[in-house]
Structure 1
Amino acid sequence: MVPDGLALPDDLEGSRNCGLVALSVVARCSYAEAVRAYTDVFRSAYQRHPRKNWKGGTTWSLVVKAMASLGVQHSHTEVTSAVTLQRLAQFTRRDALYLVCTTGHAQVVKNGWVIDQRGAVPVEQHWGRRKRVTAFHAIKED
């Protein structure tokens, strides 16, 4: 059974960005709110470059800033050794929510389940279970 807190936003339609889907899941907000928060952070980061336009991709550092702007409290962990998403999921705390960055992808992990723009599945069935984790954030929930 899918753990509480692992649900895609109701307004998720059309093209889906993994970083923004993960952001909306951990912030428990709509996809549109996540896009707005990320866009605001992007604009403030690149205000000195007026021709720099957001093309739809996300960077980890700006997703983290958008998380802060949405009021999500978290603790950051850099991964210094090779660990896969599946291996990381085995060592996460029970009922804790994690925003995980793997090579070229972002997803949320809780109780051995992974959610990204494709939906929630057990980590053993996730298409990216063997991807290398580069960083993750433990989300502090109320």
Structure 2
Amino acid sequence: MKPCPECGASTEPRSCEELFHALLALDHARQEPWGPLHGVSVSCFLLQHPSRLPADDGAMAWALLRAYLEGGLDEVNQLVGQARRGNSHRVKGEPSRVARDAALPHRDAPRSRFSVTIQDVAVDGTFPSSEFTQRVEAWAAATVDAWSCGM
């Protein structure tokens, strides 16, 4: 059993990347429960696999997870709306509130195993709908906890 070098999860029977692609396929179908949690799931994956973080060093992913844990999907949707408005070509100069407020608590990625990973959310590799929302919430909480504590 070879662990993922970034999140610590087992890579058997499927790697984290393979599971992520399976989850994206479910997300993009835009069906409950997967579709509405797309941003949260992607944020968890990116922060647990920091070599894939975008140019913002995970600031938006961090902000999305914090918003989700503090206020659920309503809060996430408000944040995404703010970011879209802030990224408009009509807004010049000042960075959006999301960019200013969402900096990660520290720059270095956690170096230990996360208590919940994509393997846990996948269950048997199919991301079953039963209790999917609860598994994603646990994934988000474990990710934020690890980054907050520096493990």
Q: TM-score, normalised by structure 2?
A: 0.28
Larger radius of gyration: 2
- Structure with the higher fraction of residues in helix conformation: 2
More strand by share: 1
